[in-house]
Amino acid sequence: MSEITLTGWDVLDEARAGLRATVAGVPADGWRRTTPCTEWNALQVLQHAALDQGVWAAVIAGTQPSGENPFAPSGQLDGEPLAYAEAALEASAPAWAAVSADGGPIPTPLPQGPMPPADAAAAAALDAAIHAWDIAAATGQASPLTAALARALTPVARGIVEPLRQYGVYAAALDAEAGAGDAATLLCYLGRSPAWTA
């Protein structure tokens, strides 16, 4: 594997590393498996996650997205899933590297519009992390959503998710069990059961 291009945003780099590792861990027969995103299989979730990272990068850089709709993943790839993921993450990293942490709000593809750079990076990280979890859950892998990452993502999740539920991006929140950890609590807030299995 070639050297990984970092975004310069720790939370985003961690989430994207989790997505890479999860994609690499999917068995050859795992890509058609059902996921917590009930309308999509694991390959479609990967396509959605990869395209989302491209849309984020295009919006913050002021360029045109690829034209593929992240919300209509085809479930078909010309090449290997890992190579597809790597290409999308590599292509989208430079846009983030050009964003100054000290700058003003930057454009986002979210209904909320421009956000402070750190919040925008966390929002993009939330997208990568939760879809990495979806793929991991679908393919019997350990969760890439660590307690520390969940704690870092929870504030931005609580700031952006509610308006997105009406578009079906996130399901209704679930009640977390008493004493649930940070990752389980975040998953429940995002409408996912931490105990979900394929």
Exposure string for 49-59, b = 16+ CB within 10 A, e = fewer: bbbbbbbbbbb
- Alpha-carbon distance of 52 to 34, in angstroms, equals 20
Task: Evaluate whether 120 touches 60 at the Cβ level (below 8 Å).
Answer: yes
The helix/strand/coil state of 48 is: helix
Calpha distance 33→26 (Å, rounded):
10
Q: What are the CA-CA distances from residue 14 to residues 59, 117, 176 (Å)?
A: 21, 17, 25
Is it true that domain 10-146 has CATH number 1.20.120.450? yes
Longest dimension (CA), the chain: 45
- pLDDT (0 to 100) of residue 87: 95
pLDDT computed for residue 2 by the predictor: 54
The pLDDT assigned to 97 comes to 96
Quick one: angle between helices 182-189 and 147-165, nearest 10? 10
Q: Which residues of the chain have pLDDT under 50?
A: 1
Tokens standing for 182? 């940070």
Say what the pLDDT of residue 155 is: 98
